[in-house]
Amino acid sequence: MVDYSKWKNIEISDDEDDTHPNIDTPSLFRWRHQARVERMAEMDHEKDEFKKKRQSYQARLMDVKERISKKDGDEEALKKELEKIEADGKELDRIESEMIKKENKTPWNVDTISKPGFEKTVINKKAGRKADENLSEEEREQRMRQFVKENEKLCKQYGMLRKYDDSKRFLQEHLHLVGEETANYLVIWSINLEMEEKHELMAHVAHQCICMQYILELAKQLDVDPRACVSSFFSKIQHCQPEYRAQFDSEIEGFKGRIQKRAQEKIQEAIAQAEEEERKERLGPGGLDPADVFESLPDELKACFESRDVELLQKTIAAMPVDVAKLHMKRCVDSGLWVPNAADLEGDKKEEDDSGDVAGGEEKTDDAKSESAAKEEPIYTGVSTEDVD
């Protein structure tokens, strides 16, 4: 059973039930309060004086005991001094017991009825935005590569979400994704999807990208960390005004248009690069493109090359002016359309093949073996630096 008796004796300075109609109540309250404050100050003073006496007693006791153990001085006098100190200690114990009894009998008041468990004030404050780091282009690219390497799977999971609640929950569980790196990755992914003609998927990823960009823009306006704006954005977009929604949809459509334009540009760049590489592979020994040279030839020379009639070519060249014939033939040689002394080259090649067959029957020397091994295709053929990265 709970004992409530300790709550019966509480001293209250402004208890109006104890006042008499002929007594000035405010003056009585002030007197009671002043008397209580003085009594508490006197008790605190007594406690401080007692604490000093107790410390002095313990120091004297340790000193005498140490001198007795070391036999430093008259032993009889030290023993008498020790007895006197011990008597003082018993007197201090009696005084302490009386002080405890007196404190227990003292009525509680507003200052002693309770004590603060802790004194601490915590003010929640949103984290500020991180200052833009002064990174070089190489450092930014390296950081982006590292981010994609570590979070590509999570970025794709976010890009495939369709409901606002799912996106909000996912970003709150992976707050490190809320940043410029995720937005940049979604832009690149959208361009690649458009180049692969996956238009519907591109439109969905573009929507998620715009959501991320709106979060970043909101954080910039409020000057807070973007991670603190995830909940605010999704709550706003789900219960927004028609004007805000129309602006959001317009931004998505404009973004998809920019993605489609950029995808077409990249396709054209890829086609132009492939054609340039193909043209370089076609270049003859003189650095001319055989297709361009063929188109620039007169019709009669074109017919000779198309029919591969050497006699007709010789007759046609002989019928042409010398300067014109030399110009066309030189360009044909430089582009590889015409190989002079082709018969002699074929004969030399045949002789080399015959000598190679004869030598093939003989035992290879160590140098030949090492040269053959050097010509073998290495095991890492086909691996690019991008695969290594």
Backbone torsions φ then ψ of 85, nearest 5 degrees: -65, -40
Q: How confident is the model at residue 77 (pLDDT cuts 50, 70, 90)?
A: confident
Distance in angstroms (rounded) separating the CA atoms of residues 57 and 89 = 7
State the pLDDT at residue 349: 47
Is 85's pLDDT higher than 50? yes
Q: Average of pLDDT values for 315-337?
A: 82
Backbone angles phi, psi at 351, to 5 degrees: -65, -40
Mean pLDDT of 8-24: 61
The pLDDT of 51-65, averaged and rounded, is 89
Q: Is 309 helix (H, G, I), strand (E, B) or coil?
A: coil
Residue 23 gets which letter from DSSP? S
pLDDT for the residue numbered 141? 87
CA–CA gap between residue 196 and residue 190 (Å, rounded):
10
Identify which of 178, 182, 206, 180 has the alpha carbon closest to the alpha carbon of residue 192: 206
β-strand partners of 10: 108
Give the model's pLDDT for residue 130.
Answer: 60
pLDDT, residue 383, reads 29
Q: What is the rounded CA–CA span in Å between residue 144 and residue 8?
A: 72
Write the CATH number of the domain with boundaries 138-279. 1.20.58.610
Q: Which two tokens stand for residue 330?
A: 């030189």
- The pLDDT, as a whole number, for residue 296 is 81
8 vs 85, higher pLDDT: 85
Query: Can you tell me the distance from the alpha carbon of 356 to that of 368, in angstroms, rounded to the nearest whole number?
Result: 13
Q: Give the model's pLDDT for residue 40.
A: 85
- The pLDDT tens digits for 86-138 are 888 899 899 999 988 888 777 777 667 766 666 677 766 665 556 556 778 88
pLDDT at residue 5 tops 80:
no
Give tens-digit pLDDT for 142-184.
889 999 999 999 999 999 998 999 999 999 999 999 999 999 9
Look at residue 381 in the predicted model and tell me its pLDDT.
31
Q: Give the separation between CA 135 and CA 318, rounded to whole angstroms.
A: 69
More confident residue, 275 or 370: 275
Give the pLDDT confidence of 244-283 residue by residue, as tens digits: 889 999 999 999 999 999 999 999 998 988 888 877 776 7
Residue 250: per-residue pLDDT:
93
Nearest to 88 by CA among 58, 127, 132: 58
Q: What pLDDT does residue 178 have?
A: 92
Could you tell me if 312 and 303 are in contact, meaning their C-beta atoms sit under 8 angstroms apart? yes
The secondary element (H helix, E strand) that includes residue 123 is none
**How many C-beta neighbours within 10 Å does residue 197 have?**
8
What pLDDT, on the 0 to 100 scale, is given for residue 18? Answer: 59
Supply φ then ψ for residue 106, to 5 degrees: -70, 130
Give the pLDDT score at 321.
Answer: 85
Q: What pTM does this model have? A: 0.48
